[in-house]
Structure 1
């Protein structure tokens, strides 16, 4: 699937996966796509800072009473950081990662990298699928397409985070359509 991604969109997707791993999550959700985009991609109308997004994600997880996987592993005596230090490969090397759809279960999409498999949640899979289908089968997926994928589902956590941070979504969507037409 990564063959259709621009290098920037591939790095953004991998960064979202690394953020999930750094938090000790076992799946990749759409909120971390938003954080990865905020870290790497300024665009008119998309004025949130990575720190604001990170804070909002943390507050939402705490409000839901969800302990992170890192904390759950620590209760078993497993130090996630120590395990990562022992992994000899560069985990941020884009060539070491693949985005793979299961042949047996086509709704399962997994980010496969040097530190293991990270399944995409249904909402994160929707981000990728909308991004891949926005431009047709022959074109490449960009960061703009990933952001369009986030905005496509008005009920996901990323849209809620953007609204809470004061982003006016309509002008943002319009600027993305303008970027798409001019590309």
Structure 2
């Protein structure tokens, strides 16, 4: 499935998977995709003003660096030694189950991680139109489903959602 993804979009999905694995989550959720987009920024959208730290705080994935530093542990050094090269997007793949077509799984050197239903919807919406899957298309997938909480996370982080939707070219469904 990654064949149509731009490099930035692929890096964002892989980063979301690594965040989920680091947090010990059983599945990759849409909230971590928002966090990964805020970190990676696979687009040049001026109206996407959310900072990675603000989103991480709202998603509930804290940064354990300060806690571990009090114990004398440098988390960055540990990760460099144990996870060297595992964040290379070329080592990861995104596959749909042949038996259960709605089930999408992210596979990589750190293991496999199923996508939660809302995260699967993000991928489906992003890949719906022909052409490359970009960071803007991932953002469209996140904002297309109000039940996944992405819009709330971004609004709480200070993003002007109507301006972001206009700038990203996300189609708006008008009430009849």
Short-chain TM bin: 0.7 to 0.9
Contact in 2 for aligned 1:20/1:32 (Cα 8 Å): yes
Contact in 2 for aligned 1:89/1:114 (Cα 8 Å): no
TM-score, length of structure 2 as denominator length: 0.80
Question: What 5-or-longer segments of structure 2 have no aligned partner?
Answer: 63-78, 171-176
Aligned residue number for residue 107 of structure 2: 112
Aligned residues: 154
Alignment of 1:102-181 (within 5 A): 102-133=97-128, 135-136=129-130, 139-177=131-169
Structure 1 residues 27 and 86 mapped into 2: Cα distance closer, same or farther (>3 Å)?
A: farther
Deviations 1:57-98 (A, max 9, x none): 118x9xxxxxxxxxxxxxxxxxxxxxx889677311212110
Q: Distance in 2 between matches of 1:15 and 1:107?
A: 22
Aligned residue number for residue 71 of structure 1: none
Question: What 5-or-longer segments of structure 1 have no aligned partner?
Answer: 62-83, 179-183
Aligned residue number for residue 14 of structure 2: 14
Deviations 1:110-166 (A, max 9, x none): 000111110000000000110001x32xx1100111011111012222111112223
Aligned residue number for residue 95 of structure 1: 90
Q: Distance in 1 between matches of 2:18 and 2:25?
A: 10
Alignment of 1:8-47 (within 5 A): 8-41=8-41, 43-47=45-49
TM-score, length of structure 1 as denominator length: 0.77
What SS does the corresponding residue of 1:3 show, helix, strand or coil? helix
Contact in 1 for aligned 2:49/2:158 (Cα 8 Å): no
Aligned residue number for residue 77 of structure 1: none
Q: Distance in 1 between matches of 2:94 and 2:161?
A: 28
